[in-house]
Amino acid sequence: MKFTKIALTIFCSMALFCGCAKDSDIVLKINDKNISRAEFYGDFNKIKNVQLKNAPKELQKDDSYTVIALKERYLNDVIVRTLLEQEFEKRKIEASEKEIKDKKAQIIAQIGSEEQFNNILKENQISEQRLNSDMANEVKIAKLIDSLGAKEATNSEVEKYYKQNKLQFTMPERVKVSHILFDTNPESLKRKITDADKEAKLSTSDIDKKVKEEIARKEKLAQEVRQKALNNPKNFAQLATQYSEDPGTAQKGGDLGFITRNQVVKEFGDAAFSQKVGTISPIVKSQFGEHIIYVTDKAAAGVQSLSDVKNDLKAYLTEQKKIQALQKLIENLKANAKIEYVDSNLSPDSIKKQLEEALPKQLDFQKKQGAPKSKLKILDKNQKENQK
């Protein structure tokens, strides 16, 4: 079982509120903080547009179950975020410019590259100012959690969890691989060529011709790079950094770490699992383009030993303690807060009623669209949770 660090922040790319609205514009009051209609719905609509941009038009309507449920989650985020901001001020918790800069660098390193990081910001319409606010909140919430006194998981707690959850540590066959990707996907190349044609001088046939030429160029380059890798496999990481078009792994020398078959597309998995350790694959074509695969290790299926997972498991259980401490604090803050729903449509009772009225319409729409029954059951389960 592989554990990954769980994000503790609940700020998640949302702007902070200035609390300077006129009384007639206020939709929500949280202790001494006023939230205006423009602030609330301005940010909510941005989030809605990003998260539902590929959803059917019916599900993007303001009275749809999907939008109302999203608004309910956003409303809770606004309340929790505001209460935590007030707690930061009360405890005099601040974030320095260096801490913000370091946090940003840490996240970029986790994502893989600054280019990929910037693409995520663009896709989610996150400005530089909002990013800095979010990074500051990441730092402050980490300091707040540290001040709550959550203790590190003990060895006995780690051993107990391992013994009680052995099924979680059963691993399928895995291989450790690195790869070099050449983007030969026609649609991807077409988009790049079209985007570069700022003045729209190219005709459809011109673009198609350029796509074919680019595919041929990259196929030839892939063969040349593969030969270089065959000549000296020790230089594979350097070749990946220089040539790979996979933004997530290029700067890491193409390293994908240990993978299972179900983590990658079939063509890639078939090639990787059939290779011997230390070998370079032939050119492997997939929907993403052409890959050169280097297998560096293999692990048979079986149960991971306690010694293999102890450090990751200890970090995971410690993280869980921190999350529980934060959740307890948030529950206490909400219980003691003075929250006034000036806009009655945002009150818990009103939201609950809106969800109840919207659910049958959405179920009917999904049935007409041929949605699997399992998804409908999940939706119904979520509705019941909202009613509790």
Could you tell me if 291 and 323 lie in one domain? no
- Residue finishing a domain among 266, 300, 334: 300
Same domain, 27 and 146: yes
Q: Is residue 135 part of a domain?
A: yes
Q: Contact, 118 vs 145, CB < 8 A?
A: no
In which domain, by residue range, is 99 found? 23-150+313-346
Q: Answer with the residue of higher pLDDT: 107 or 384.
A: 107
Question: Which CA distances in Å does 73 have to 19, 116, 211, 245, 386?
Answer: 20, 27, 44, 37, 10
CA dihedral 129, 131, 133, 137 (to 10 degrees): 180
Residue type (1 letter), 229: A
**Based on the structure, what is the number of domains in the chain?**
2
User: Domain for residue 231, yes or no?
Assistant: yes
Report the percent of the chain where pLDDT is more than 70: 89
Residue type, 307: S
Mean pLDDT of the chain, nearest integer? 87
- pLDDT tens-digit readout, 210-220: 999 999 999 99
Mean pLDDT of 325-338: 96
pLDDT value, residue 100? 92
Q: Is residue 248, in this structure, part of any structural domain at all?
A: yes
Say if residues 263 and 276 touch (Cβ distance below 8 Å).
no
Contact 283, 223 (CB under 8 A): yes
In what helix (H) or strand (E) does residue 255 lie, and over which residues does it extend?
A: strand 255-259
Judge if 275 and 336 occupy the same domain. no
- Give 213 or 131, the one with higher predicted confidence: 213
pTM for this predicted structure: 0.64
CATH number, position 218: 3.10.50.40
Secondary structure letter of residue 15 according to DSSP: P
Same-domain check for residues 234 and 289: yes
Cβ(11)–Cβ(137) under 8 Å?
A: yes
Q: 245 and 212: one domain?
A: yes
Among 177, 179, 186, 175, which Cα is nearest to 245's?
A: 179
Q: Are residues 116 and 185 in the same domain?
A: no
| 3-state percent helix, strand, coil for the chain, nearest multiple of 5 | 65, 10, 25
315 versus 366: which is more confidently predicted? 315
Residue 257: in which H helix or E strand, if any? strand 255-259
Better pLDDT: 156 or 104: 156
Asked if residue 205 is part of any domain, the answer here is yes
Q: Are residues 37 and 140 in the same domain?
A: yes
Could you tell me which of 175, 168, 179, 187 has the C-alpha nearest to residue 312?
168
> What confidence category does residue 264 fall into, taking pLDDT thresholds of 50, 70 and 90?
very high
Would you say residue 3 lies in a domain?
no
Query: Residue 371 falls within a domain, yes or no?
Result: no
**Roughly how many angstroms between the first and final C-alpha of the chain, as a whole number?**
33
Q: Is 32 in contact with 42 (CB distance < 8 Å)? A: no
Task: Classify residue 4: in a domain, yes or no.
Answer: no
Query: Which domain CATH number covers 48?
Result: 1.10.4030.10
pLDDT in tens, 179-209: 999 999 999 899 889 988 888 888 999 999 9
Residue partners of 77: CB distance under 8 A and separation at least 6: 10, 12, 14
Task: Tell me the HSE value of 22 on the side-chain side, using a 13 A CA sphere.
Answer: 2
- Cα separation, 238 vs 277, in Å, equals 19
**Contact predicate 193/186, CB 8 Å:** no
